Amino acid sequence: MNKSKIKFMRKFSLLAVVLLATAVTYAGGYRVSLQGQRSLAMGHTGVAVVNNAEIAFFNPAGIVYLENKLNAAVGVSGVFSDVAWQNEEFGQYAQTESPMGTPFYAYVTYSVTDWMSVGLAAYTPYGSAVEWPTDWAGSHLVNNIDLQAIYIQPLVSFKISEYFSIGGGPIYVTGAVNFNRNLNRTLADAEGNRSNVTIEANGVSEWGWSAGFMFNPTEELRVGFHYRSEIILNAEGGEANFENVPDSPLTNFPDTTFDAALPMPAELAVGVSYEFGDKWLVAVDLNRTFWSVYNSLDIDFADDAIPDSKNVRNYANSNTYRFGVQYKALQNLTLRAGYYLDKSPVKKGYFAPETPRNDAQGFTGGLSYDISSKFAVDLSFLYMKFDEIDASYDYYAENGQEVPFGGTYKSTAFVPGIGITYKL
Amino acid sequence: MKKHLIYLAILSIGFVSCEPEFENPVDEDGFYSSGEANFSHFVAIGNSTSAGYADNALYISGQQNSFPNILAQQFSLLGGGEFTQPLMADNTGGLLLNGTQIAAPRMVLAVGANGNPGPAIMAGTPTTEVTNTLAGPFNNMGVPGAKVYHLGVEGYGNVSGVANGTANPYFARFASSSNASILGDALVQNPTFFTLWIGNNDVLGFATSGGTGTDQTGNFDAGTYGSNDITDPNVFAQAYSQIVDALVANETEGVLLNIPDVTTLPYFTTVPYAPLSPANPDFGPQIPTLNGLYAQLNQAFAFLGVPERSIQFSTTSASAVVVKDESLADISTALTQVLMAGGLDAATATLFGMQFGQARQATANDLLPLTSSSAIGEVNQDRLEELMAMGLPAAMAGQFAVNGVSYPMEDQWVLTPSEQQMIETARTAYNSTIQNLAITHGLAFVDASGLLEDLYNHGVAFDAGSINADFVTGGAFSLDGVHLTPRGNAVIANEIIKEINRTYGASVPKVNPGNYNTITLSNNIN
């Protein structure tokens, strides 16, 4: 390694540390598809696109086809996303004031030999930050939630031939969750302050893996396949703090600990890309997220006096259909655009306001500008268009009777992103 | 540079559209219709029921859940302006007058040492000082304790009259001047819409006192009435119509609510007329002795031709308490004579004669106020002292001074059928006045009486079950057994909204009673 390389690596790790310290957040569902500005600009396609180090996330099998010895890509997005809710029957309305989410990625790949490359990837594919006004009409379901998960993955990729490669690696996940809701729709202390519980767990870690292959039948055509395993984050011994509970033996809620399991579902990506001449590239991806693992969010309180909290979710597996196009406008300027259709995993009657996610259309665009032969700046934006949806969560019970919480939801998300690509 | 500006513009459009907006937001003008009503300045006029009084006190969170404030939240979707209330200083409730407590803190549901929950007075000292006058005007002109003829009384909020009872401490907190009247302070705001729920106290004071006051029917001088009296229906009609005339003078629309039947309130329906259980160790073993004593009395009753006054306690099932019924002919003297003729010594016979001259056992038609539950079966200290002054030894005096067992429950502890009839006669007259005025002026009319009957008879459904008039558990009534909980206020607010929509062709949205609390649990008691 020469001097400049060492210098770069130092910078890179410093940046990584800074980014790791940032909250990983996203509003409106907890799969966050923002794992590369170049890919995002093309509708977040990429399982069959060999462009820069972003391929480390989209398909590790592709890193061996990167032209340079050393490739790196880092980036961060600013997620501006909010959800509004209203109920016409009762004239109620509320809107989230969610903090800006800053999901990030950092990838580096290194070509060891002509037939083998290694890499290291850090990314944040799952996360959620939703902040409703405290004590709003749905506060018995959620006041606020902040879910973070950082994936760190060493990679290796082998070129079996000019036409075919494989790649993959183990994934280490570290996650944290902070969730607050009111105990029910009305309980309050003598001052009128609503009784609520906060559960918090940090440093929850787990292992998983991902693997893929890439097939290049012709110079222009690539086919990719990538599978990322399900990872269930088991929060054990997290803190559960009860606030504003009436001072009464009838409402005995001492602070305690809890166990809960939150799944990061498996995801399968298949796709193709095709180059038209020197300037054009199109890509089509299909993602299938195996959300059916998310049956129920069960919070098991250590203190037996406190009834466990069962929150059925019954998510369904869901697909996302992605399309992207890239145009090399100038020697140092590449333009991109894309579209995707993201189908919601939430079934009718299970629409809970802590992940208020309905079908979305993503409109994306962006550009890369080569500052030098080594450095490029990657810009992207994403606008997610959601239709208004009349939805309810029907499985909250009070006194043994199910009390649906419903209304009309409307979400928006606008996500500008910036990244840097480095190659040597 | 130009290019950059274009990008900036595109970016800012993106940020603007980032706010999620409904095609038809419920909080936008025109989503709901006001019909012929104008909610821009809503004023509520009335008594404790409008003020948000609950748990035997006025306190902040109760006021926030007053039915007028609930209505105002909904009206705010239809151009309704700010709704101000003369909020108390705390959630403890109670009042201070020049630093001296004149009203007790609120009640909470506390679990006693025996593990049973029951109402208790919350610990703490009131911090609401009556002399600390709040700057108004206030949209909520509900004044606890006000009767119909008080609304027009100038000086009803004069703080210097509070101590001697000529002014109301709750109105004194926010009256605009020392000679202001409730109605005047309401009218000066030029309300565009009003609710008027007044007249409850014109019978309720009599009822909750167990009928110790006077039925003033026929007495047209309200200035001579006591707080526990029944207001003459003509006085009521005159005062009520003056209030309505003044309110509607500027084409103001509004709602009139009628007066509920007090016998549907848990205050009168909770304590059973036959609470004396033979299983009670303090009572059961005494039954043979008591029945022996009463056997002599019963013979005398039979001899005097009033065998229906016979008193006997069952050894197998709960027995009715013994009550004093002022409507019965007083046979004290005759009873004494008969008992003496039967061989009883003069002193005992006199004692019996005096004590049981208007006594009988209670029936299902008698209503025992909530407050009687702490008196039944207890030694009546006043009577004990009286008996000892008459020369009885302490032990024997004690035996003849047990409330409802050996000493007939006094007037204040029982609302007899004849007392109920006085209330009912007056109330029926009041309600026909109210309904007729609503019809005359085309105002919305809410049958609050019917609604409370529904709560009492079968409950009112909401999304998590049913709300009814059962004490503590029913959800509608606060721990004083008379005033509504927040959820009860939500139910009455919905009834008002229903009638507003019907009368004025409006589409004011209802509220969900399931979002409103019921009673407050706390063991923070003295």
Q: What is the pLDDT of residues B349-394, one digit of tens each?
A: 888 899 999 999 999 999 999 999 989 999 999 999 988 988 888 8
Distance from C-alpha of B157 to C-alpha of B174, rounded to nearest angstrom = 8
Is residue B111 less than 8 Å (CB to CB) from chain A?
A: yes
Q: B287-303 and B332-341 helices cross at what angle (nearest 10)?
A: 100
Interatomic CA distance for residues B164 and B154, integer angstroms: 16
Q: Give the three-state DSSP class for A24.
A: coil
Q: Which residue has the tokens 């033996």?
A: A249
| Residue from A248, A367, A412 to probe the interface with B (highest B Cβ count within 10 Å) | A248
Query: Which positions in chain B touch A97 (Cβ < 8 Å)?
Result: none
pLDDT in tens, A119-157: 999 999 998 889 999 999 999 999 999 999 999 999 999
Alpha helices in B249-331 (DSSP H): 266-269, 287-303
Mind giving me the DSSP string for B140-202? EEE-TT--GGGTT-TTTT-GGGTTTTSS-HHHHTT-SSTT--HHHHHHTT--SEEEEE--THH
CA distance A195 to A131: 18
Question: Of the candidates B491, B497, B522, which has an alpha carbon nearest to the alpha carbon of residue B509?
Answer: B497
CA distances from B230 to A207, B246, B272, B411, B426 (A): 79, 25, 25, 16, 7
Which residue from B minimizes the CA distance to A407? B26
The nearest CA of chain A is from the CA of B207 a distance in Å of 30
B516 contact A CB<8A: yes
Nearest CA in chain B to A188: B520
In DSSP notation, A126-139 reads BEEEEEPPTT-TTT
CA B322 to each of CA A131, A232, B351, B398, B439: distance values in angstroms, whole numbers, following the listed order: 62, 70, 16, 16, 46
Asked if A86 lies within 8 A of B25 by C-beta distance, the reply is yes
- Tokens 């809701």, located at residue: A181
List all residues of chain B from 446 to 465 with a beta carbon under 8 Å from chain A: 463-465
Q: Does B511 touch chain A (CB under 8 A)?
A: yes
**H runs (alpha helix) in A230-363:** none
Distance (Å, rounded) from C-alpha B7 to C-alpha B325?
Answer: 90
Q: Nearest CA of chain A to the CA of B145: how many Å? A: 24
Residue B308's φ and ψ, nearest 5 degrees, are: -65, -10
Whether the Cβ atoms of residue A77 and residue A22 lie closer than 8 Å to each other:
no
Residue among A392, A338, A347, A329 at smallest CA distance from A365: A338
- d(Cα B409, Cα B378) in Å, to the nearest integer? 11
Kindly give the parts of chain B with pLDDT less than 70: 1-18
Q: Do B194 and B44 form a contact (C-beta atoms < 8 A)?
A: yes
Report CA A225 to chain centroid distance, whole Å. Answer: 20
CB neighbour list of residue A234: distance below 8 Å, 6 or more residues apart: A204, A206, A259, A260, A261
Residue A31: per-residue pLDDT: 85
Pairing of β B253-257 and β B193-197: parallel
Scanning the structure block, which residue is given the tokens 């969010």?
Answer: A297
Q: Which residue in B has a C-alpha nearest to residue A192's C-alpha?
A: B61
Q: What ranges in B357-416 are assigned the alpha helix state H?
A: 381-389, 394-399
**CB distance A260 to A296 below 8 Å:** no
Rounded CA-CA distance B513/B462 in Å is 6
Look at A248 and B509 and tell me if their CB atoms are within 8 Å.
no
Which one, of B74, B55, B463, lies nearest residue A192 by Cα? B55
* Average pLDDT per block of 10 residues along chain A, 424 residues long: 42 36 38 94 96 96 95 95 95 92 95 96 92 96 93 97 96 95 94 95 95 96 97 93 94 92 94 95 96 90 88 91 96 96 92 88 96 96 94 91 94 94 94
Tell which of B3, B10, B17, B22 to mutate to test the A interface (max A CBs under 10 Å): B22
pLDDT at A15: 36
What pLDDT is recorded for position B3? Answer: 57
ipTM of the complex: 0.89
C-beta atoms of A192 and B515 within 8 A: no
Is A87 within 8 Å of A8 (Cβ atoms)?
A: no
Separation in Å, CA of B27 to nearest CA in chain A: 7
Amino acid at residue number B465 = G
Question: How far apart are the C-alpha atoms of A315 and A290, rounded to whole Å?
Answer: 9
Please list every residue in chain B whose beta carbon sits closer than 8 Å to the beta carbon of residue A408. Answer: 22
CB A28 within 8 A of CB A356: yes
- The C-alpha of A135 sits at a distance from chain B's nearest C-alpha, in angstroms, of 11
The candidate with the shortest Cα–Cα distance to B455, out of B291, B260, B295, B294, is B260
The bridge status of strand A405-423 relative to strand A375-386 is: antiparallel
Q: Provide the whole-model pTM.
A: 0.91
Judging contacts by C-beta atoms under 8 Å, the chain A residues touching residue B509 are 88-91
The SS3 call for residue A204 is strand
